[in-house]
Amino acid sequence: MQVLDGKALSEQIKEELKQEVDTIRLAGGKIPHLAAVLVGDNPASQVYVRNKVRSCEQVGFQSTLIRRPADVSQSEILDIVKRLNEDPDVDGFIVQLPLPDHIDEDAVNLAISPEKDVDGFTPINIGKMTLGLPSYLPATPNGILEILHRNNIETSGKEVVVLGRSNIVGKPMSILLSRKGQPGNATVTMCHSRTKNLAEHTRRADILVAAIGIPEMVTADMVKDGAVIIDVGINRVEDASRKRGYRLVGDVDYAGLEDKVSAMTPVPGGVGPMTVVSLLMNTLKASQR
């Protein structure tokens, strides 16, 4: 079984990005600048944003972190978005999700300028992606495409089953893998919480993408021999033996899979680091507009 090491691949891509930034700097061009808005103190969000800022530093991008407490008003967040939309020095920005309940995530998303939407979540970018036009692709699905592409995993004509229909992972992943292109051209089935007989679908999958958010829900009996497993899930489960009291597991239970599948992404160190790298790739693209 091949371990699809997203951490190593992300380091390789970061090195490529760093070289591009060095070339831009030598030519006196604009250094890419990513801004991130972090609201409240959700521990997972803090880790994600910290990783994004650290990765910017690693590749020589400029980064700005804007933090607000959980009780910030919606109008203040919309003001920040407006300011970032208008700031010529900021090439792209993200508003880390989830936002507190009193803030309307859709309203915030709709306020982001599509030109600076390096998360690829706004309707214009989702629409362009669906039509196969150039756009900022959503970071996690784009990172998965990169994993498939750089590991020479053929998708054309394959049965792909995507578990999950979220706007940020499952839905765009299904669209991208069924698009005409490379990677793409797959026959895609998208499953969700109302899907009946889930295992009947998953057992047909040459490539199984799990983005559900339920720890180790996919078990070996649900997986076809020789399948490629992309585990998007990042779930905290209690573990008293760990200093921090928990460990991270995916949506796939790895027990019994090692001798059964042809390749799989680990958790952590699989899809997660590639998501961050996708964001950097989009930011570089934004800075070259």
Q: Which of residues 123-152 bind ligand NAD (CB under 6 A)?
A: 140
Contact between 282 and ligand NAD per CB under 6 A: no
For residue 132, the Cα-to-chain-centroid distance in whole angstroms is 19
- Contact, 76 vs 67, CB < 8 A? no
Q: Which of 181, 193, 199, 245 binds ligand NAD (CB under 6 A)?
A: 193
CA angle 61, 138, 205 (to 5 degrees): 130
The residue among 21 and 36 lying less far from ligand NAD, judged by its C-beta, is 36
Binding-site string for ligand NAD from residue 237 to residue 276, where x marks contact by CB under 6 A and - marks none: ----------------------------------xx--x-
Residue 243 known to be catalytic: no
Q: Which of 147, 211, 228, 249 is the binder for ligand NAD (CB under 6 A)?
A: 211
Q: Is 174 helix (H, G, I), strand (E, B) or coil?
A: helix
What residue ranges in 27-133 does DSSP mark as E strands?
A: 33-39, 62-68, 92-95
The count of residues interacting with ligand NAD (CB under 6 A) is 24
Strands 246-249 vs 235-238: parallel, antiparallel or unpaired: antiparallel
Residue nearer to ligand NAD on the CB measure, 52 or 179: 52
Contact predicate 93/66, CB 8 Å: no
| Catalytic residue selected from 91, 119, 206, 231 | 119
Which among 14, 91, 96, 224 is annotated as catalytic?
96
Indicate whether 166 belongs to the interface with ligand NAD (CB under 6 A): yes
52 carries an active-site annotation: yes
Q: In the 8-state DSSP scheme, what is residue 96? A: P
DSSP string, 231-270: E---EEEE-TTSTTSEEEE-SB--TTTTTT-SEE--SSSS
The verdict on 49 binding ligand NAD (CB under 6 A) reads no
Is 285 labeled as catalytic in the residue annotation?
no
Residues that bind ligand NAD (CB under 6 A): 140, 163-166, 168-170, 191-193, 195, 198, 211-214, 232-235, 271-272, 275
